[in-house]
Structure 1
């Protein structure tokens, strides 16, 4: 679990599509540098979010660490497009007893979004982003939470039909995250508010019942109540 409050920006120093080392596991791996500030309490197997993606540390030094990238991760995130020298947002998993400054972020990326407009206003910046997966739009609401490359941000405007939303980034945030290095056309990782998913799951079951893989289903909670009333 994460909060979406980026702790520091690291930098990619190695992207290997077939890492045959013991820490690479014969898969795709990523090595990040300039991470000394978050590695003082690091252990093998710890979780660190890179651009909002929860990943497992397989090797680390004083200021670098390595993670493995599964095919699912590569298909859902922008991590496969990273090049040596690219900056990335970093956040350690939430520790018990610490102040919670952002929102509940799982580090499980839902999809990517394309930056379609960047508009400065005074010392802030507006970003308009088009969501790749239209099915995510019901979870993106004005003044709701969204994690963009792992940064907890407030949604401003939403257009469901055209699949876009906007966020505004204040001056302080601009100097502590990778978003200002992005350009129109770049892809960012997004994770919608998981609380919305849980609410939908529960309310759908109550109102519509549950569907099964064989095509059958169960009556909704409302239908069961009505049936009991009618039976009486």
Structure 2
């Protein structure tokens, strides 16, 4: 087993006034040649947007983009005619493919909106752009590691992306132990990101917003030190 540890305070931090953001991997003005990606996981941004502000219409192409609201209300609009307001417990997935224009705004006039934006490099280029949302709170079970996104082709009513990648969330209770089993023997590794709480993953302490990549194994253990919400992203290698 091999690991790479990214503590929260080592991320690229930027305060743009209306936006406070932390980049786990190289993005925009933050560049670290040792932190460009973890397999097909290319971007993991932790954003907080002031009330009534956000990202104006901008383009994406040939990328799988996942947004997970953590608090507040995130308003999405795109050139395919989709207008959606997302809240904590919901998730959106975009396959940018041949090209998509979208905006993301804080839908509240008095509360911040916090969300994770995650990019995964797809396994095929120039697909038809698509947009899907789901309510993940309906399927997450406490003290289980629940799969929330699967590879294409997904099952009916299941969120999926164009990559052999899986997203899972664990809402885990203090003093419990769990084992993550890889979905595929061909996966490069799993990136573990602590949204809230504190866990020990194979000897490494991970607090709020710490991340750790784990590879060259097929299972690993999680020891929960505080009630925690943990995101698991299993991805293949990219060449």
TM over 0.5: no
Higher share in helix: 1
Higher share in strand: 2
